[in-house]
Structure 1
């Protein structure tokens, strides 16, 4: 039997949970559908990752996030969001993937998943960006030794590891692998590290490079990946570097094909910014809302938990305003 709701939330990350809290507090019938685990992206973060934000800025639902150190790690965050679910007892379906969302003749949404069918007056996409890596599109990128996700350093101990990227995940991986005995080389397309690099990490990586513990090639790119080496183009020469593993931590992006399939228009430039109202978070599709990092298109570094928590209230206020107008 098909179930009907005021609001279906796709994605059980922190922002999806925040949307559910607002829906519950305002007596809207709702369902969260998540294709993986609770806060699936956080679960897939590196095991020992430390957040840039302090615990207070990761809070949702006005529930305090207590931890020993000011900046929590992955494990503490998972514990916090599990407790959030225990407290609010969300209507939540995990390990269920949304396959399609279409408008029906009642101008409502039919939601098809791999397990069931639902209908809803409104839909929120809080799907994040972590599922699709930015590919380098070079020869050998499909080799088994190439990884676009990093969990921990132990598998790469005593290996020749190339880390691609200049962001926090790349630097964390490079430092952790080095400290577990790997021979680490960083390949960085620009002339330096991202300006958003964690302030307590920057001196560490810069000192390791200065002393020669970690090699780094700036303004450089990998041109091909081979079974036992990588080819690198630097400003001065082309190198062949002996290699066992490539950690291509080049970032990730939202599922643009899915957004367009639902009728959401994207900007014509390389940023692919979705079309939405910044006050209500409603897209060009009536009743379809965006929340969280998915709003940024390719600019996945402009929205975080701390500055997109407000999307939940904006969306529910917009839904209630429509209900009251009718």
Structure 2
């Protein structure tokens, strides 16, 4: 089968930044599924790992990344109980194992969901990583519910990005929150409003923009961009007894002591935690993805696919990385096999 990977970390402009190669199709065992991949999407984690994981190193075998896929189950391990051959599935995967940038992939059934039935494969492939991340931070980390939190305010930093695009929808349509999203360009502002944001503010003047929109403080803040860059604004804007959640990778420490006076809690989210540590609740991701699929099939949640590149090859995958690295993408970029 064909796979795409890299032997060393290079700028995407370099010829060998991503290379095609052949490898044997693996055989599933235990709880693994062998999935014939039909479409993948690219996330910031892809280019960050490509840029940094093999700096000043050269591997003999290419490293395969990619953490979003949709496809058909080709075969199953002997302990598989949730799926059967022929099932259409979607998933984000496990950062400690080979990724989805290959024609066939082994994936643990506990982190796989049944794909939505009423949308295209590429629309489904756009959703797993961002949906799991947004869902986990809202429901598993902050433990928000419509019953106790409906009508409260949430500020979403990076509303037009992959995770932000899903978080806006979940916060508005499932939790009934008043959603303030950040965006700075006309097209990203419209994107956020289309997904359900009540107010869109410019992140370049965050505190003043939020206050002008009528909010002296907000109950919840979701950071999907850069916790260091916005930390001082968060300290000002978060309401007493509020909650802040973040997925970003701070270069500098954050001063949690600044939150003490308001009794504010801070929550990290990493979508890969459950699979990395084989947690007792690892199958929760199977359940979340199934719920996401149901929400999409019912029309409550819409796919955040915005760009489709047809054909699985190194040049097309490089183009997807270039788009993500530009920082100007809206929604998700998918490569259809």
Verify same fold: TM over 0.5: no
TM range (shorter): 0.3 to 0.5
Structure with max Cα Rg: 1
